[in-house]
Structure 1
Amino acid sequence: MNRFLVIQTDFGLSDGAVSAMYGVALNVNPSLRIFDLTHDIPQYNIWEASYRLYQTISYWPKETVFISVVDPGVGSERRSIVVKTKSNQYIVTPDNGTITHIKKYIGIEEARLIDEKVNRLPNSGHSYTFHGRDVYAYTGARLASEVITFEQVGPEIPIDSLIELPVLEAYIQNGAIKGNIDILDVRFGNLWTNIDRSLFQKLDVDYGDSFEVTIENETRQVYKNIMTFGRSFADSHLGEPLLYVNSLDKIGVAINQGSFAKAYHIEAGAKWKITICKVPKFVYNENSV
């Protein structure tokens, strides 16, 4: 029985690159079931490739094979690898940091170097710029179709030798949580932070509580305002900002039916910092007027 094959790239769909990867995989096994994770990773953005795998992988069946191709170092000395996660799934990818979030939050059981003498599309040996097609699609399809076993991918390599990107940790300081904006919920413009719900709850929070939210980049303060913590977007009025728990159990920042990122020109990455501080609820008293 074939495993599922799931592909993500930064190729987009405006040319034939993704279609060529499909063709290679289906030539290995015409009955293989292939799915797209996304092909809209920003060009060369290894961090986002790593995060999108983390966002998605836990919801797929065991033994699913993932191919991730965001590969600014294609044709260089960077390694091509397949890793087996502790949840018994496989990721075929360049060794450039794409497995960062998987290693940290899910765990890697074993890693192997792709032996291109065996696991490379026949007659492609003189091409060095499309490993997504020639190495990763071919190897991923052979592994998903059980033409090869994981052990036949190539020699085992130490897990500690895998390239990782720096991952920042959120923390509490002087009664405020300081964290990072890891990524955007692109279509809707919400901000996804690295602040776990469990850490946020240490501020003794409840739905409806108010918080001062400050967002900065390396050069300036971009945003500072009071907003409410809501169970869902319906807990705020149209156009109002709110804090909420996103689908990865982390704190998100949103505008009800609007794009927070576009409204305030906010991006994601290591330089984008967020501080969240609980403030007292304001109670209007008519007798005080």
Structure 2
Amino acid sequence: MNNYLVIQTDFGISDGAVSAMYGVALSVDPKVRIFDLTHDIPQYNIWDGAYRLYQTISYWPEETVFVSVVDPGVGTDRRSIVVKTESNHYIVTPDNGTLTQIKKHIGIKEARLIDEKVNRLPRSGESYTFHGRDVYAFTGARLATGVITYEQVGPELDPASVIELPAEEAVISNGSVTGNIDILDIRFGNLWSNIDRVLFKELSIEYGDSFEVVIENGTRQIYKNIMTFGRSFADSHLGEPLLYVNSLDKIGVALNQGSFAKAYHVQSGPNWKISIRKVQKLVYN
């Protein structure tokens, strides 16, 4: 193991929760190197937590241990697990759908149930509301620093049993590609879809082509307009919308130097759908 521990939560940093997790990890072994993925996952939003893991994990060295705590079911009978991914990373997390994107796009090689008789912070047995500190940070640090092996996490589980949230695949039908708005590029307000670049290119597209973009939330249409497919944001005028390929090789929607999400009140998640259809290129005289 490489001593790297990467932590993600929905706790924020306005109180001592994240700091307590740091302290537990360092108490296991001062040599552990702790990094933040994010602590700004919206409260209880397992979907966003799942996506941020997928967005990040492949860029870290093999054997890095991730702790992800978005856990509205803390204290219930939901499982606490550690998985080994096909990319040879480890994730310590509640089994509540947090691994949806990892399971779908990267793959889970092995899974184990955390044995809390062994892998739990000493003298924390009567606490059932802070497993992020008492179970996940403790177990993650022990694994990252080699205090325990992966086999010592606990009993083996069938990777197929790891819980997934409902997620639809992007599809092409009648000259239109339809997918999901999986996540927002929070800082800049761009929309990140699950439409892969390779699938999108089956529409026989070129940079500069025009597309009709429709965004719906359930059965309600939120947005419909024509925009250009550009290589970068500079391929549109200030304030204009555009389609582009984002850093995960998926199709994104942006507003040049503006927040598309705020401008049109668009959010993300399983109910937010996007359809893209190629139209005749617009020429202005």
Q: Which TM class, normalised by the smaller chain length?
A: over 0.9
**3-state secondary structure, aligned to 2:55:** helix
* Letter paired with 1:241: P
Instruction: Report the equivalent of 2:253.
Output: 253
Hey, what's the Cα distance between the residues in 2 that align with 1:283 and 1:161?
Answer: 53
**3-state secondary structure, aligned to 2:92:** strand
How far does residue 284 in structure 1 lie from its aligned partner after superposition?
Answer: 5.0
TM value normalised by structure 2 = 0.98
4+ runs deviating over 4 angstroms: none
| Larger Cα-atom Rg | 1
**3-state secondary structure, aligned to 1:269:** coil
Instruction: Report the equivalent of 2:97.
Output: 97
Give CA-to-partner distance per residue, 1:117-171, whole Å, 9 cap, x none. Answer: 0000000000000000000000000000100000000010111111111111111
Instruction: Report the equivalent of 2:55.
Output: 55
Hey, what's the Cα distance between the residues in 2 that align with 1:272 and 1:164?
Answer: 18
Structure 1 residue runs without a partner (length 5+):
none
Hey, what's the Cα distance between the residues in 2 that align with 1:219 and 1:197?
Answer: 26
* Letter paired with 2:45: N
* Letter paired with 1:53: L
Q: Indicate conservation of the 8 Å contact 2:2/2:64, yes or no.
A: no
Instruction: Report the equivalent of 2:176.
Output: 176
Instruction: Report the equivalent of 1:151.
Output: 151
- Give percent identity, aligned residues only: 79
* Letter paired with 2:64: T
Distance 1:2 1:61, change over 3 A: closer
Give CA-to-partner distance per residue, 1:178-233, whole Å, 9 cap, x none. Answer: 11111111111000001000110001001000001111112421111110000000
**3-state secondary structure, aligned to 1:275:** strand
Give CA-to-partner distance per residue, 1:261-284, whole Å, 9 cap, x none. Answer: 000000111111111010111345
Hey, what's the Cα distance between the residues in 1 that align with 2:2 and 2:201?
Answer: 43
Instruction: Report the equivalent of 2:37.
Output: 37
RMSD: 0.9
Residues 92-131 of structure 1: pairs in structure 2 closer than 5 A: 92-131=92-131
Hey, what's the Cα distance between the residues in 2 that align with 1:284 and 1:166?
Answer: 43
Instruction: Report the equivalent of 1:231.
Output: 231
Hey, what's the Cα distance between the residues in 1 that align with 2:241 and 2:52?
Answer: 25
Distance 1:121 1:276, change over 3 A: same
Instruction: Report the equivalent of 2:20.
Output: 20
Distance 1:284 1:39, change over 3 A: closer
Hey, what's the Cα distance between the residues in 2 that align with 1:193 and 1:110?
Answer: 28
* Letter paired with 2:69: V
1:10 aligns to 2:10 (yes or no): yes
Give CA-to-partner distance per residue, 1:57-98, whole Å, 9 cap, x none. Answer: 000000000000000000000010000011111000001011
Structure 2 residue runs without a partner (length 5+):
none
Give CA-to-partner distance per residue, 1:18-57, whole Å, 9 cap, x none. Answer: 0000000000111211000000000011111110000000
Q: Indicate conservation of the 8 Å contact 2:100/2:165, yes or no.
A: yes
Hey, what's the Cα distance between the residues in 1 that align with 2:252 and 2:65?
Answer: 29
1:68 aligns to 2:44 (yes or no): no
Hey, what's the Cα distance between the residues in 1 that align with 2:206 and 2:23?
Answer: 52
Residues 74-85 of structure 1: pairs in structure 2 closer than 5 A: 74-85=74-85
Hey, what's the Cα distance between the residues in 2 that align with 1:31 and 1:66?
Answer: 16
* Letter paired with 2:174: N
Hey, what's the Cα distance between the residues in 1 that align with 2:144 and 2:101?
Answer: 22
**3-state secondary structure, aligned to 1:20:** helix
Hey, what's the Cα distance between the residues in 1 that align with 2:284 and 2:140?
Answer: 62
**3-state secondary structure, aligned to 1:243:** strand
**3-state secondary structure, aligned to 2:88:** coil
Instruction: Report the equivalent of 2:211.
Output: 211
Q: Indicate conservation of the 8 Å contact 2:8/2:36, yes or no.
A: yes
TM value normalised by structure 1 = 0.97
**3-state secondary structure, aligned to 2:67:** strand
